[in-house]
């Protein structure tokens, strides 16, 4: 059907208050998992999915994030002089072509829907686009957004990444009301943002990856404010369903880490550390020893 998704929106305007005092001067998105910033994982996933244009919705105090994607000539020439070719290659993967990145400011923290709405002028009227939340880091053989883009080429419409969560945790997420379960794909008849535990329509939670039809931007235009003055992306996607357009949930293959929380960030650090060829032997034996000592102490 030739549906191409070449633009992605990265909402990175949040204050990162859960990680204070670190985020007093360092944007949360460039905090590192092992040796790569969170944002780099998101960018690499987008590139693997065929994204060519990257739109960052930022706020004041995020200049370090913008600088991260610039070339660093002094650093590069120093590494070249010292013959550190491997490090030069790693740096290359962080450089973005001129014009590939756009930065849009979100002046008021009015929710995820508002952040996406801020990017509307950079997306053509009939163009579908992706949204990636860098807090959700997904370890997968085939990157999550790439899995979704491949599925989207068959379905069109709008698509959200979905994952089963324990029923008691569903109230922390947007939750899907499933019309038909087709395995890796579900068709959706409703979406509820943070439902009370006994009212969740399923335990399929929406995770921070989206492929959205341009209609969703039009819906955001109409929604001046959802719950508590914020503009919810969930409401704009749910409006697609009520207008008779298709919305799908995609059960991705992979493990998601919630790096917006300290516990999730620590879990991701351990998992990614243990997966690294250059670290896993030393790191894994350290963890074994640590656990053995703890067990002995009990």
* Mean pLDDT on 134-156: 93
The structural domains of the chain, ordered by start, are: 7-260 (3.90.550.10), 262-298 (no CATH)
**DSSP annotation of 221:** H
Say what the pLDDT of residue 228 is: 56
Q: What is the pTM of this model?
A: 0.90
136 or 98, greater pLDDT:
136
Q: How many CB atoms lie within 10 A of CB 22?
A: 12
- Mean of all residue pLDDT scores within the chain: 88
Calpha distance 153→242 (Å, rounded): 23
User: pLDDT, tens digit, for every residue of 72-91?
Assistant: 888 888 988 988 888 888 88
**pLDDT tens digits, residue range 174-185?**
899 888 888 889
């Amino acid at each position: 059907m030739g549906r191409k998704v070449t633009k992605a929106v990265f909402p990175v305007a949040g204050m990162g208050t859960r990680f204070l005092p670190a985020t007093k001067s360092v944007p949360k998105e460039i905090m590192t998992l092992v040796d790569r910033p969170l944002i780099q994982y998101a960018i690499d996933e987008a590139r693997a999915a065929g994204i060519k244009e990257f739109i960052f919705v930022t706020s004041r105090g995020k200049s370090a994030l913008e600088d991260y994607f610039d070339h660093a000539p002094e650093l590069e020439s120093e590494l070249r002089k010292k013959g550190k070719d491997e490090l030069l290659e790693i740096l290359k993967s962080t450089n973005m072509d001129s014009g590939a990145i756009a930065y849009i400011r979100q002046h008021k923290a009015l929710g995820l829907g508002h952040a996406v709405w801020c990017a509307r002028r950079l997306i053509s009227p009939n163009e579908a686009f992706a949204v990636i939340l860098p807090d959700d880091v997904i370890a997968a053989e085939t990157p999550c957004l790439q899995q979704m883009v491949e599925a989207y080429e068959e379905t069109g419409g709008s698509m959200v990444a979905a994952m089963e969560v324990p029923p008691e945790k569903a109230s922390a997420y947007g939750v899907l009301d499933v019309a038909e379960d087709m395995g890796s794909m579900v068709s959706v008849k409703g979406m509820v943002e943070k439902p009370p535990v006994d009212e969740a329509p399923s335990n399929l939670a929406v995770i921070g990856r989206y492929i959205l039809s341009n209609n969703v931007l039009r819906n955001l235009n109409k929604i001046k404010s959802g719950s508590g003055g914020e503009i919810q992306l969930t409401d704009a996607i749910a409006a697609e369903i009520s207008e008779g357009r298709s919305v799908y949930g995609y059960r991705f293959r992979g493990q998601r880490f919630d790096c917006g929380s300290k516990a999730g960030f620590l879990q991701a650090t351990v998992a990614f550390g243990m997966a690294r060829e250059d670290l896993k032997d030393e790191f894994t034996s350290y963890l074994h020893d640590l656990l053995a000592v703890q067990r002995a102490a009990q």
